[in-house]
């Protein structure tokens, strides 16, 4: 008498999230202060769109520094992508942007976080539209989300409002423009310098601009906001004033003003 | 720990013989906080000493400062491994605040605007070891560094120098304050590396 | 002092729990508001990590780490709710 074949079982979260060593296979400038890194992690269990990981650096004397970075890729596969912006007095980001070389190994802890993720409608059965609002490098988790959305040919209406200081600060411009041609609603707000013939002068985002670019509260979108603490609080506050329910808004703020 | 990241050496970390074990000297002044920064106007500020029997003495901003402000130059040591050496401060000695308040208590809980607490043995706040400080490095204390006034107990790890201090409660037992409940040492002597439970 | 969001807790706690604490629902012992821990206000620039209720600011949880030990308090939560593994 033989036992029936075992059903494939989803490993518990603890088995998936682990410290692993990855090898940098690609490193190229993204903007003047940011770099795109593709890292091969042989035992990567896959990750949801929007998850993050921790990078830990260890000096020869044992000193360690660790920071969290959103993953720009999602799904199965052993190659993961990060886009790291260099902070002026950062400890880890300057190393990742200026010093890391192809072939280097990095210690990574992840995938982390089930709170700030997007999953296709086929899994969630949630037909509500999705509004993504990014401040600067806060666009990285949304890259994973819009890529996953396109790959799944997901019918959910997706809108991305991307606030940057100047045109050269835009991450993944080519890819976002391509996705915009295929259904992603994409809007930019430039706070310091706008492109030539931009219809509005550069300036910090306003509540009116937000109201103009975001899916209205009446459509009850699920909203994700990612950026500096100051940006996220400003935008979240206005969205509540515009009638969005607090429970429909998920935020990921990475400190700073 | 055998993994070493190629090319990473960390920030330039100065060693100095005046440092307690495990500490690194810094020139800037890092801001660490367990919550939002209280914003207290000196016109609304008050300081209260409560004895173990519940008797209270209150001082306004001007009344406390009138007890006599002195200059202090001292080293400070944070449990997160940074130290600042020879820092100038100005404040009122705890000796002057507690003078004339009868007590049999052995311990003190410092309380702050915003709810922070930390416990210290009474005899370690006396004899020139502690102050209520208003100024550091030649300027009034910024709110993010504990202004308008913070406790200053430099011979213990700096989490004991409660920011936004607004009172001392004398107590018979060595009850643990905020970080002491959360895993940090009841005493906190940097020279004995009393960091954790 | 600026805070980050509760999903910043994911890294520190993933080694301790078999489930993702940031999607666990908890109730604040101070004000009774319940919600996912991912929505907590997290202060990381401190001698430890402090998670506060987004509604009333009371401390929900603290995490202190040394080289070889972790101290975790969830004393500010009356209870947490997690889905059972299927």
pLDDT tens sequence across C9-51: 888 888 788 788 899 999 999 999 999 999 999 998 889 999 9
pLDDT above 70 (res B194): yes
Q: Which of the residue ranges A195-199, B145-149, B160-164 would you say has the lowest mean pLDDT? A: A195-199
Who contacts A145 (Cβ-Cβ below 8 Å, separation ≥6)?
A49, A50, A74, A118, A130, A132, A158, A224
User: Is residue A8 assigned to a domain?
Assistant: no
| Backbone φ/ψ region at B138: left (φ over 0), alpha (ψ -120 to 50), beta | left
Are B131 and B91 within 8 A, CB to CB?
yes
Pair A189, A87 in one domain: no
Q: If you ran DSSP here, which 8-state letter would residue A144 be given?
A: H
Q: If you ran DSSP here, which 8-state letter would residue B129 be given?
A: T
Residue tagged 């409002």 (tokens): A161
Domains (range + CATH), chain B: 46-192 (3.90.420.10)
Are A93 and A82 within 8 A, CB to CB?
no
Residues of chain B contacting A, Cβ within 8 Å: 1, 3-11, 13
Are A107 and A80 within 8 A, CB to CB?
no
User: Which string of DSSP letters, residue by residue, matches B24-71?
Assistant: EE-SS-----SSPPP---TTT-EEEEE-TT--EEEEEHHHHHTT--EE
Q: What is the CATH number of the domain that holds A41?
A: 2.40.30.10
Interface check for C16 against chain B (CB to CB < 8 A): the answer is no
Residue ranges of B 153-192 with Cβ closer than 8 A to chain C = 159, 179, 181-184
Choose among C36, C29, C32: nearest CA to C10.
C36
For residue A229, count CB atoms less than 10 angstroms from its CB and return exposed for 0-12, middle for 13-18, buried for 19 or more.
buried
Q: What is the CA radius of gyration of chain B?
A: 17
Pair A59, A24 in one domain: yes
Cα dist from B109 to B100, B171, C50, whole Å:
19, 7, 21
3-state secondary structure of A22: strand
Choose among B110, B112, B132: nearest CA to B120.
B110
- For residue A178, the enclosing domain spans 121-253
Q: How far apart are CA B171 and CA B122, in angstroms?
A: 9
What percentage of chain B carries pLDDT values higher than 90? 85
Q: Which residue of B has its CA nearest to A104?
A: B6
Q: How far apart are CA A149 and CA A124, in angstroms?
A: 13
Q: If you ran DSSP here, which 8-state letter would residue B160 be given?
A: G
Of A112, A253, A256, the CB nearest to C5: A253
- What's the pLDDT at B14? 65
- What's the pLDDT at A10? 52
Pairing mode, if any, of strands B165-171 and A185-190?
unpaired
Choose among A154, A78, A136, A143: nearest CA to A111.
A78
Interface check for C39 against chain A (CB to CB < 8 A): the answer is yes
- What's the pLDDT at A158? 97
Q: Which of the residue ranges B24-38, B74-88, B144-158 would you say has the lowest mean pLDDT? A: B24-38
Residue A5 or C63, more confident: C63
A189 upstream amide cis, omega within 30 of 0: no
For residue A89, count CB atoms less than 10 angstroms from its CB and return exposed for 0-12, middle for 13-18, buried for 19 or more.
exposed
For chain C, report the end-to-end CA distance as a whole number of angstroms.
Answer: 41
Rounded average pLDDT over B14-39: 88
Average pLDDT, chain A: 91
Q: Which of the residue ranges A14-23, A212-221, B130-139 would you say has the lowest mean pLDDT? A: A14-23
User: Is residue A6 assigned to a domain?
Assistant: no
Among A112, A133, A156, the domain-final residue is A112
Pair A22, A50 in one domain: yes
Q: B46: number of CA atoms within 13 Å, CB side?
A: 9
Packing angle, helices A173-181 and A140-151, rounded to 10:
40
Pair A238, A160 in one domain: yes
Q: Which residue of A has its CA nearest to B9?
A: A59
Pair A79, A188 in one domain: no
- What's the pLDDT at B13? 64
Q: Which residue of B has its CA nearest to A22?
A: B5
Rounded average pLDDT over A21-30: 97
Pair A148, A243 in one domain: yes
- What's the pLDDT at C9? 84
Rounded average pLDDT over C67-86: 90
- What's the pLDDT at A206? 94
Average pLDDT, chain B: 95
Choose among B163, B110, B154: nearest CA to B128.
B154
Q: What pTM value is reported for the model?
A: 0.81
- What's the pLDDT at C12? 83
Among A84, A112, A140, the domain-final residue is A112
- Whether residue C64 and residue B31 make contact (CB cut-off 8 A), yes or no, is no
Q: How confident is the model at residue A138 (pLDDT cuts 50, 70, 90)?
A: very high
Of B35, B159, B181, the CB nearest to C47: B159
Are B116 and C1 within 8 A, CB to CB?
no
Which chain A residues are within 8 Å of B1, Cβ to Cβ? 58, 62, 64
Pair A240, A131 in one domain: yes
- What's the pLDDT at A255? 63
Q: Into how many domains does chain A fold?
A: 2
| Number of other CB atoms surrounding residue A203 within 10 Å | 12
pLDDT above 70 (res A172): yes
Among A78, A112, A146, the domain-final residue is A112
User: Which string of DSSP letters, residue by residue, matches A62-119?
Assistant: S-EEEEEEEBS--BSSSEEEEEEEPPTT-SSHHIIIII--TT-EEEEEEEE-SSS-B-
pLDDT above 90 (res C4): no
User: Is residue A7 assigned to a domain?
Assistant: no
User: Is residue A222 assigned to a domain?
Assistant: yes
Q: How confident is the model at residue A211 (pLDDT cuts 50, 70, 90)?
A: very high
Pair A23, A91 in one domain: yes
- Whether residue C66 and residue B196 make contact (CB cut-off 8 A), yes or no, is yes
pLDDT above 60 (res A6): no
Pair A132, A84 in one domain: no
Can you point out the beta strands (E) in chain A? 18-31, 34-40, 52-58, 64-70, 79-85, 105-112, 130-135, 158-164, 185-190, 222-227, 249-253
Pair A101, A190 in one domain: no
For residue range B65-111, list pLDDT tens digits in order.
Answer: 999 999 999 999 999 999 999 999 999 999 999 999 999 999 999 99
- What's the pLDDT at C85? 74
Pairing mode, if any, of strands A52-58 and A64-70?
antiparallel
For residue range A46-82, list pLDDT tens digits in order.
Answer: 999 999 999 999 998 888 888 999 999 999 999 999 9
3-state secondary structure of A6: coil
- What's the pLDDT at A14? 47
Who contacts A250 (Cβ-Cβ below 8 Å, separation ≥6)?
A115, A116, A222, A223, A224, A225, C38, C39
Of C5, C14, C86, the CB nearest to A251: C5
Q: What is the ipTM of this complex?
A: 0.89
Q: How far apart are CA A116 and CA A68, in angstroms?
A: 14
Angle at alpha carbon of residue B148, lines to B145 and B154, rounded to 5°: 55
Q: What is the CATH number of the domain that holds A240?
A: 3.40.50.80
Pairing mode, if any, of strands A222-227 and A130-135?
parallel
């Amino acid at each position: 008498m033989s036992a029936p074949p075992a059903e494939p079982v989803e490993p518990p979260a603890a088995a998936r999230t682990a410290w692993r060593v990855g090898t940098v296979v690609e490193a190229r400038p993204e903007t003047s202060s940011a770099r795109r890194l593709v890292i091969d992690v042989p035992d990567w269990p896959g990750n949801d769109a929007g998850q993050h990981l921790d990078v830990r650096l260890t000096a020869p004397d044992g000193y360690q520094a660790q920071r969290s970075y959103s993953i720009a890729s999602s799904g199965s596969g052993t190659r993961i992508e990060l886009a790291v912006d260099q902070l002026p007095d950062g400890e880890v980001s300057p190393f990742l942007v200026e010093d890391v070389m192809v072939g280097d190994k990095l210690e990574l802890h992840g995938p982390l976080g089930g709170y700030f993720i997007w999953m296709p409608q086929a899994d969630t059965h949630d037909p509500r539209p999705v509004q993504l609002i990014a401040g600067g490098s806060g666009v990285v988790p949304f890259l994973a989300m819009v890529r996953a959305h396109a790959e799944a040919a997901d019918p959910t209406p997706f809108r991305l409002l991307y606030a940057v200081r100047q045109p050269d600060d835009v991450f993944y411009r080519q890819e976002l423009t391509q996705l915009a041609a295929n259904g992603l609603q994409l809007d930019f707000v430039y706070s310091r310098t706008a492109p030539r013939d931009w219809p509005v002068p550069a300036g910090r985002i306003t509540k009116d601009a937000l109201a103009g670019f975001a899916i209205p509260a009446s459509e009850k979108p699920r909203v994700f906001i990612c950026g500096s603490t100051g940006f996220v609080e400003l935008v979240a506050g206005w969205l509540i004033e515009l009638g969005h329910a607090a429970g429909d808004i998920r935020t990921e703020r990475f400190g700073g003003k | 720990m055998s993994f070493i990241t190629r090319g990473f050496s960390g920030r330039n970390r100065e060693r100095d013989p005046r440092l307690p074990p495990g500490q690194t000297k810094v020139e800037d002044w890092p801001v660490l906080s367990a919550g939002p920064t209280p914003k207290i106007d000196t016109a609304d500020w008050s300081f209260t000493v409560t004895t173990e029997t519940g008797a209270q003495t209150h001082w306004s901003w001007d009344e406390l400062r009138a007890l006599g402000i002195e200059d202090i130059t001292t080293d400070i040591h944070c449990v997160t491994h940074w130290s600042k050496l020879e820092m100038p401060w100005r404040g009122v000695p705890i000796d002057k605040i507690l003078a004339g308040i009868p007590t049999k208590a052995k311990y003190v809980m410092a309380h702050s605007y915003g709810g922070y607490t930390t416990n210290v043995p009474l005899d370690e706040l006396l004899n020139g070891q502690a102050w209520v400080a208003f100024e550091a490095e030649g300027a009034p204390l910024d709110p993010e560094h504990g202004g308008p006034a913070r406790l200053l107990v430099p011979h213990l790890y700096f989490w004991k120098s409660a920011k936004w201090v607004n009172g001392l409660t004398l107590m018979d037992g060595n009850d643990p304050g905020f970080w002491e409940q959360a895993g940090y040492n009841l005493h906190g002597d940097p020279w004995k590396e009393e960091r954790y439970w | 002092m600026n805070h980050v969001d509760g999903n910043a807790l994911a890294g520190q706690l993933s080694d301790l729990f078999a489930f993702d604490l940031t999607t666990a629902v908890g109730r604040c012992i101070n004000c009774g508001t319940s919600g996912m821990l991912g929505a907590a206000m997290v202060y990381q620039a401190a001698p430890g990590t402090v998670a506060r209720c987004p509604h009333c600011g009371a401390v929900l949880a603290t995490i202190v780490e040394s080289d070889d030990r972790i101290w975790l308090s969830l004393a500010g939560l009356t209870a947490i709710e997690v889905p059972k593994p299927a």
